[in-house]
Amino acid sequence: MLTESTFPFSVSRRSVLAAGAGFSALTLAGTGMAASGQGKVRLAGWSKPISEITNLLAEPDKGFFKAQGVDLVYLPGAGGGDAIRNLLSGQADVAFTDPGSFFMALDKGEKLVAIYDIYPQNVFNVVSLKASGIQKPSDLKGKKIGVYSLSSGTRQNLLVLLHQAGLKESDVTIVVTGLLNFAPLMQGQVDATAATDTGLAVGMRRGMGDIHVIPVRDHLNISSDMFVVREESLKHKKDLLKAFLRAYRDSAAWMIAHPEEAATLAMKRAIDGTRRDINLEVIRLRNAASLPTTQGKAGAPALGGFDMAALQKGADTYRALGMVQRQINVADVVDTSLLPGA
């Protein structure tokens, strides 16, 4: 479980979305001997190549995907909705996206399936200065609250938090603060701001002073990101997708076991990886978020496994909020048959 004590040494999860706008697809060619060729997988990301996805960026050095016969191509994006759009347009085979973007695409009738839970832990928070007196979600009524953008996970998770307190979006004033969303908080332009764990970390490093943090996971511990594919891919690319998930699982397990090595590689591979100490804390935060809320055989973490009850609660909450109109039965849109060991 993430705690405030881990925050002061990290950087914003969304803070480099606008950076490197000229990045195109990255072919991550691994080293070493490849397994029998499976094919190319184009992965649509929500971000540019940043340190928290070092397990993907390390492919040229570690060759996890090549070992499974997978030629990995990473398509940078600017948010989970962007990843879904790249998937639906046919530019990508897999989307690295958030549940909200997934639910909203399903609501529009898109035929999509989630196949791997990347970050089962909710990494979003609402942060305020202690002087504001905000200590619980109900205290947000009538307040100005900053979000990164109106299409971001910060807004979606803020609405989830408000819903848990019986509040509506109209009960607060949402202010779009952009990437540097803690500056308006410190300057008194907003009463609170929605952020991720790593966003909070960089704010604390810049000296926000005494703060109060409301973790959204304490109210709804829904996944932060997952791999999503089109239904037709399950029919035509099942073996390739299985190989992709095996490789990703291996890369995630490596980063969990070897965060120091990953922090060093991030200096070479990530656009925000110039400081190794910050890389290490970002990686540790993402490693913590990768651990499932349920355990696998003999108590070992079952990386990629879904907490179906939590995901269904999330879908129901999004409907109650009016963010989706149709009832989504997550059992119909999650396929765990491709998971390693399934």
Residue range 82-92, pLDDT digits in tens: 899 999 999 99
The yes-or-no verdict on residue 98 having pLDDT over 60 is: yes
The yes-or-no verdict on residue 300 having pLDDT over 60 is: no
Q: What integer pLDDT is reported at residue 2 of this predicted model?
A: 30
The residue among 163 and 153 whose pLDDT is bigger is: 163
Percentage of the chain modeled with pLDDT above 90? 60
Q: What integer pLDDT is reported at residue 322 of this predicted model?
A: 86
**136-145, 167-176, 290-299 — which is least confidently predicted?**
290-299
- Ramachandran angles phi, psi of 163, nearest 5°: -60, -40
Burial of 276 from C-beta contacts in 10 A (0-12 / 13-18 / 19+): middle
Residues 95-107 have a mean pLDDT of 94
Q: How confident is the model at residue 36 (pLDDT cuts 50, 70, 90)?
A: low
Q: What integer pLDDT is reported at residue 35 of this predicted model?
A: 55
- Ramachandran angles phi, psi of 278, nearest 5°: -70, -40
Q: How confident is the model at residue 38 (pLDDT cuts 50, 70, 90)?
A: confident
Q: What integer pLDDT is reported at residue 180 of this predicted model?
A: 65
DSSP string, 53-81: GHHHHTHHHH-TTGGGTEEEEEE--SSHH
Q: What integer pLDDT is reported at residue 111 of this predicted model?
A: 97
The yes-or-no verdict on residue 179 having pLDDT over 80 is: no
Please compute, for residue 76, the number of CA atoms within 13 A of its CA located in the half-sphere on the CB side.
19
The residue among 177 and 58 whose pLDDT is bigger is: 58
156 neighbors 196 (Cβ within 8 angstroms): no
For 57-93, letters b (16+ CB in 10 Å) and e give bbbbbbbbbbbbbbbbbbbbbbbbbbbbbbbbeeebb
Compute the distance between CA of residue 248 and CA of residue 64 in angstroms, rounded to an integer: 7
Q: What integer pLDDT is reported at residue 3 of this predicted model?
A: 33
Angle among Cα 137, 170, 325 to the nearest 5 degrees reads: 95
Q: Distances in Å between the alpha carbon of 282 and those of 47, 53, 72, 212, 287?
A: 15, 9, 23, 21, 9
Residue 44 one-letter amino acid: A
C-beta atoms surrounding 170 within 10 Å: 8
DSSP string, 162-197: HHHTT--GGGSEEEE--S-TTHHHHTTS-SEEEEEH
Q: How confident is the model at residue 12 (pLDDT cuts 50, 70, 90)?
A: very low
The yes-or-no verdict on residue 301 having pLDDT over 60 is: no
